[in-house]
Amino acid sequence: MTSSFLRLGLAAALVLSAGLSLRADSAPAVVFAKDYANEAPGDAVSELPNFIVWTGAPQGSWGEAKIVAPPAAIPDSPKAALLFTSNAATPKTFAPSVTVKTPDFGAKGKGKGTYRLRFAIPVDGPYRADFFFGGSWESNGAIVIFQNGGISLMQKSGKDYTPLRIGEYEANKWQELKVSFDFEKKTCSLTYNGKSVANEIPWNNPKLTSFPDLTLAAGFDPGASSGLPLFYLHQLEVLQE
């Protein structure tokens, strides 16, 4: 699979430092961009205030986050990616995560915003990763769950959620997910590996006035082993029109 993401260079480095940069060709504004392809192997670090890598408190108690070269078993891999691994002592309802802070994303209530991710799930068996767009389990624009080979968009009704099945994923293959939000209509649309899988789905919380963050809980591991690969993140991008 050939990635359609932007390659980071000097311009993207400026984006990371400034938080927002308009492209000269009137394309969407880059709110945030991260590409691990050319980063040196080693422990992952948070880039406050925008980007937080969380492995529990104390650090590492829910797993580890390291920049590594993906294995040859995953075709079309970049030179490096962010890898999350398991810790057998992690409580079942917790997972290591990445959070991107975007406190003013969509605050004017107009236009559209898009999150784009390229990642791989190296677990062929029981597994779950949650993507929270615009908040937490209690209040959000959308939640997408990758679980046991299936992909679901969680739809809120009252205090409960109902999963809307939108596709399947394969372990040990790079995936590309694009979630676009219409800030005026308060709907979201999803594209997975270039294919539209959901269109104009109402937000779980239509009262949101902005999207404060994206949190990616990278793998809930109920197993008894530590150090198991859970999730590889290659690229993450946030755009606003």
Q: What is the pLDDT of residues 7-48, one digit of tens each?
A: 333 233 333 333 333 334 468 899 999 999 999 999 999 998
Q: Give the tokens for residue 231.
A: 């999730």
**96: closest CA among 58, 47, 137?**
58
Mean pLDDT of the chain: 88
Single pTM value for the model: 0.88
| Amino acid 91: pLDDT | 87
Tell me the pairing of strands 160-168 and 174-182. Answer: unpaired
- Report the pLDDT averaged over residues 56-85: 96
List residues bridging with 37 in a β-sheet: none
| Amino acid 191: pLDDT | 98
Assess contact for 102 and 52: CB atoms under 8 A.
no
Q: What is the pLDDT of residues 135-166, one digit of tens each?
A: 888 899 999 999 999 999 999 988 899 999 99
Pick the CATH number of 20-232 from 2.30.110.10, 1.10.3720.10, 2.60.120.870, 3.30.565.10: 2.60.120.870
Q: What is the pLDDT of residues 69-78, one digit of tens each?
A: 999 999 999 9
Whether the pLDDT of residue 224 is over 80: the answer is no
Q: Give the tokens for residue 16.
A: 């990371």
Whether the pLDDT of residue 55 is over 90: the answer is yes
**146: closest CA among 158, 162, 161, 130?**
130
End-to-end CA separation in angstroms for the chain:
26
